[in-house]
Amino acid sequence: MKIEDCVNLDDLRILAKKRVPKLIYDFIEGGVDDEGGLERNEAAYKRLALAPRYMVDISKLDQSTRLFGRTYASAYGIAPTGGVGNYRRGGDLMLARAARDANIPFIMSGAATAAMEDMAREAPDHGWYQLYTARDRAISEDQIKRAADLGIPVLVVTVDVPASPNRERNRRNGFGRPLKLTLKTKLDALRRPLWMKDYLQHGIAMLENWKAYAPPDADAEGVSAFLATQVPTSVTWKDIENFRARWPGKLVLKGVMRADDATRAADLGVDGLIVSNHGARQLDRAPSPLDVFPAINAAVGDRMTLMTDGGIRRGADVLIALAMGAKFVFLGRPTLYGAIAGGEIGAAKAIRIVNDEMNKIMAQIGCPSLDQLGPDFLHRPPEDLRRNLQD
């Protein structure tokens, strides 16, 4: 199967799996502990159905969405994923350019293998930066200043990584930081000659945004080892106050899963939240973001811009999240698989697949523009109806 033959996002996943060794694929695809959170994220969307409205003029369909003072072509963007250059050399900027060309936002990971300076040059106005707070807060403050000086419009502070998670797939595969291949992994990688050739030629990718803070003359492995001394660490409300004071643009917290935390964030002047459980890669027993979204929306939906991610595998999932009240949605693994499978062309293919699916579903449910989408397009399951009758 070729990129042009892919008809859905799962086809891109299958192609990506064929290009990288098991060590890499499991790192991207895996969760933590028993990996029940992965299933829970996707199941939350599958439990919900869309109620179609017919006799509607759907000759013109409009996905355009206003977010933080800018009009994007649709209501979804590319979520941050770390270490992309170890899966596809140059992958961070491939994703950034694909987002730029599609007029959707791209969030550069705090563990990116390209520099925020390169992103700002390649995808001005479309590139956001995700901050992983360092133990040495001076590093975080300098990264904030760098992003502000570059005119990056949105800073996304990830708050849900207080400790290293128990990613059992990684432990079984010997995946560590810095990335080093065992003999077993190298033998497996020989079955993926394009990936192996790149690894032998270049080694692991440099974590460019951390290079300036590592010991002088540190190579890619040295910078990766330095990052491991700085992250993870606890992020406190005092940190958020500090970041808010230093950051002149829009400030978003990623990982908030409680209404009381959302309220406190709003009180501190945070502009938005990405309701997220880190793609089910931190706490396996965490609920799905979609399941906690209504409570957070009820608490602060009129005060902040609420977004979400996790478990989105279809254009219909994007529409369900928007109908639930999300103003924007982010996808991580699907676009990453596109980039791994086919570079920038593959990333663009993933975006086209989502766009096409959304257009088809919008037409099917009688919703010609996303600004008309609301909870009335969600089918209410019988148990909800029974609960209302009992009340």
Give, in order, the Cα–Cα distances in Å from 73 to each of 81, 104, 309, 355: 22, 6, 18, 9
Distance CA 339, CA 19 (A): 11
Q: Which helix (H) or strand (E) holds 379?
A: strand 378-379
Distance CA 108, CA 106 (A): 6
Instruction: Provide the phi-psi class of 269: left if phi over 0, else alpha when psi is between -120 and 50, else beta.
Output: left
Q: Which candidate in 126, 202, 278, 379 is catalytic?
A: 278
Active site residue 202: no
Residue recorded with tokens 């949605």: 329
Distance CA 341, CA 16 (A): 4
Distance CA 322, CA 1 (A): 32
Determine how β-strand 305-309 pairs with β-strand 378-379. unpaired
Strand partners, 67: 70
Q: What is the DSSP string of 257-326?
A: --HHHHHHHHHTT--EEEE--GGGTS-TTSPPHHHHHHHHHHHHTTTSEEEEESS--SHHHHHHHHHTT-
Q: Are 254 and 157 in contact (CB under 8 A)?
A: yes
CB neighbours of residue 236 within 10 Å: 12
- If 0-12 CB within 10 Å is exposed, 13-18 middle and 19+ buried, where does residue 218 land? middle
Q: Are 250 and 68 in contact (CB under 8 A)?
A: yes
The catalytic residue positions are: 278
